[in-house]
Chain A
Amino acid sequence: MILVVMDHDGNELRKGALEGVSRARKLAEALGGEVAGLVVGFGAEGVAEKAKDYVSKVYVVSGPDWETYTAEKWAKAAHAAAEAAGARVVVAPASRTGRSWTARLAVKMDAALLEDTLDSWAEGEKVYATKYSFLNRVLEKQAGSLPAVISVKPNTTPLAEPAGAGTVEPLAVELGELEKKVEVLEKIVETGGKVSLTEAEVVVTGGRGMGSAEAFQMIEEFADLLGGAVGATRAVIDAGWRPYAEQVGQTGKTVQPNVYFALAVSGAVQHQAGMNKSKVVVAVNKDPDAPIFKETDYGVVGDVHQVLPAMIEEVKKLKGA
């Protein structure tokens, strides 16, 4: 049996949940058994009704104790569901939260942890996966023995199609001493742009060279024209010009769009770690020696305040034509 932990927003399943189902089905084919799902937290009962179209059985952990996320609670719920299902593999999204609770779950299950995987498969009594390492510069193939916990890098896997109706089963999980030790005092949700950064086909990132928060209006306009999302460097976040949710890089988001615009961005390694898998990289920088130009397909050496407005006009012409 494979357990897939299905992320949701209290209302709908997230894409990551359906990527997880695809991965779990592939593993179940090789290892035998069925795919069970788990939905936890706020709105879980409602979401379970949708989740049951994808898996043979959905475990639901909900109630007042489960309204807010903590890694301790999610690891506990996943462990309880894995035991109930007799699962030897647990699949979960490699979101920032996913990666913190799956580490705890792997310890609870004494399992091999295959983290942030691009693909995964099973042969015999082993699971295999590919992932990036060395700040996204190396592609790595790993193997782990069972039991295993596998987290799925977002946007790597086709979304599963519904496959009949499973059953829904509430699972009662009591909070222990450990789970009571973290209290969430405040949640600061930074609503990003209209298009989700990690899923966007076009990303337009501004760096410190934009010079001000106001200058990002141009970036927004350009991103809107192309149906893309706005990104930012750490220097921009530190300056308070944009919310953290837009940060691209080692400590921000990893993006892999069709086309990535790096505007007035120097191209530090920590930034590259978040964007170096983009299909086409475009840079505008006034410094011809900026490191970003080494990672660029198409670049312009020039002042972004002159080049970007002209780019906006050109795209408008193109769209009008």
Chain B
Amino acid sequence: MKYVAIIRQVPDGESKIKVDGGRVNLEGATLILDQMDEYAVEQIIRLKEAHGGEAVVVAFGPERTEEAMRTALAMGANRGVLVTAEGYVDPVTQAGALAKVLAEEAPDAVFTGGQQADWDSQALGAAVAEALGWPSVTWTTAFELEDGHAKATHDLDEGAEVVRVALPAVFTTQQGLNEPRYPTLPGIMKAKKKEIKKIDAAELGVSGSKVEILEQTIMELERKGKIIDGTKEPAAAAAELIKLLHEEAKVL
């Protein structure tokens, strides 16, 4: 059996991001393995541990993505394949290139995060599946293998659903699916020697992006920050709060 996690490197949600000349500049931001992809990495390692076979991480991104791949390898994945491209490439174009890598790898199941913490896109998993002609299950919270099929629970807009899916298939992951492990020191040492194969995106037919980013601006709403101490007289603080909401903010 073979299992693949498609991962990305993104800025930590808590790190400050800045904009220079209408573009987000990540210089100085802490870059991490996307937390939503951590569930994907954990899932392929667990499947390998339970059923044998290989856990492979695949990524599309700039050279620096290798750092996030090392994290996944330190968690326990066997090896990596990185499709390199600088600058923004939309998820549909990425999916076309990744599908070529996956067709060659021929895994039984593929996992990737439900939403990307940089582009806020939810498209990659479903687009990769479509490019391969495979089924997809989005926002997966439970996964079980069943002879050539998977039984999965996944979130919808108004609740959840249990599906049975023929493999190979692509699953997008989210919190609840598992508890991602931390890389251990021996894991980190071993990860340094694990193979990461690099392929230039151009070799897979990528010659640009179907979507262009024209301008980015930081949208932090100014907050008033009026804080009332309610530790000693909670009722009085509540009364003042409601008064402010009614008279000043005019929202009640």
A contact residues vs B (CB 8 Å cutoff): 69-72, 75, 95-97, 99-104, 106-108, 111-116, 128, 131-145, 178, 181-192, 202, 226, 234, 238, 243-245, 250-251, 258-259, 269-270, 273, 276-277, 279-282, 284, 286, 288, 293-303, 306-308, 310-311, 313-315, 318
The answer, among B24, B161, B239, for a CB contact under 8 Å with A314, is: B239
CB neighbours (8 Å) of A299 from chain B are 225-228
Contact B158 A144 (CB under 8 A): no
Contact B252 A103 (CB under 8 A): no
Contact A134 B117 (CB under 8 A): yes
**B75-106 CB contacts (< 8 Å) to partner A:** 90-92, 95-96
Give the CA-CA distance A236 to B3 in the complex, in Å. Answer: 32
Give the residue name and chain of the B residue nearest to A308 (CB). Answer: B238
Contact A141 B223 (CB under 8 A): no
> With A141-B214, A178-B133 given, is the CB distance from A116 to B127 under 8 Å?
no
Q: Which of B49-57, B65-73, B118-126 contacts A (4 or more CB under 8 A)?
A: B118-126
Contact A258 B216 (CB under 8 A): no
B20 at the interface (CB under 8 A from A): no
B155 at the interface (CB under 8 A from A): yes
Looking at the assembled complex, report how far the CB atom of B133 sits from the nearest CB atom of chain A, in whole angstroms.
6
8 smallest A-B Cβ distances: which pairs? A302-B230, A310-B238, A269-B13, A103-B123, A306-B234, A103-B126, A314-B242, A104-B130
Contact B135 A72 (CB under 8 A): yes
B7-25 CB mask vs A (1 if < 8 Å, else 0) is: 0000101100101000010
Contact B120 A280 (CB under 8 A): no
Q: Which of B40-48, B164-172, B182-190, B192-200 contacts A (4 or more CB under 8 A)?
A: B164-172
**How many inter-chain residue pairs (CB < 8 Å) link A and B?**
285
Give the CA-CA distance A234 to B24 in the complex, in Å. Answer: 29
Give the CA-CA distance A18 to B107 in the complex, in Å. Answer: 41
B215 at the interface (CB under 8 A from A): yes
Contact B127 A106 (CB under 8 A): yes
CB neighbours (8 Å) of B159 from chain A are 187-190, 243-245
Give the residue name and chain of the A residue nearest to B16 (CB). Answer: A137
Give the CA-CA distance A96 to B225 in the complex, in Å. Answer: 33
CB neighbours (8 Å) of A138 from chain B are 17, 19, 24, 216-219
> With A103-B122, A185-B163, A270-B13 given, is the CB distance from A318 to B211 under 8 Å?
no
B contact residues vs A (CB 8 Å cutoff): 11, 13-14, 17, 19, 24, 35-36, 90-92, 95-96, 114-115, 117-127, 129-131, 133-139, 151, 155-166, 169, 174-176, 210-221, 223-231, 234-235, 237-239, 241-246, 249, 251-252
Contact B130 A75 (CB under 8 A): yes
The answer, among A95, A132, A189, A298, for a CB contact under 8 Å with B120, is: A132
Contact A113 B122 (CB under 8 A): no
CB neighbours (8 Å) of B91 from chain A are 103, 113
Give the CA-CA distance A281 to B244 in the complex, in Å. Answer: 12
CB neighbours (8 Å) of A128 from chain B are 214
Give the residue name and chain of the A residue nearest to B117 (CB). Answer: A135
Contact B227 A293 (CB under 8 A): yes
Give me 9 A-to-B residue pairs in the complex whose CB atoms sit less than 8 angstroms apart, sorted by A's number. Answer: A70-B163, A137-B219, A182-B135, A188-B160, A273-B13, A280-B245, A280-B251, A307-B237, A310-B237
Give the CA-CA distance A190 to B17 in the complex, in Å. Answer: 37
CB neighbours (8 Å) of A279 from chain B are 251
Looking at the assembled complex, report how far the CB atom of A6 sits from the nearest CB atom of chain B, in whole angstroms.
16
CB neighbours (8 Å) of A318 from chain B are 242, 246, 252
Further contacts, 10 of them, CB under 8 A, given A100-B136, A112-B90, A144-B211: A103-B124, A133-B120, A139-B216, A178-B134, A244-B159, A258-B251, A276-B221, A298-B228, A298-B245, A300-B227
The answer, among B17, B35, B237, B238, for a CB contact under 8 Å with A137, is: B17
Q: Which of A102, A107, A288 has the most CB of B within 10 A?
A: A107
Contact B130 A226 (CB under 8 A): no
Contact B163 A184 (CB under 8 A): yes
Looking at the assembled complex, report how far the CB atom of B124 sits from the nearest CB atom of chain A, in whole angstroms.
8
Contact A298 B224 (CB under 8 A): yes
CB neighbours (8 Å) of A116 from chain B are 120, 122
Contact B164 A192 (CB under 8 A): no
Contact A140 B215 (CB under 8 A): yes
Looking at the assembled complex, report how far the CB atom of A107 sits from the nearest CB atom of chain B, in whole angstroms.
4
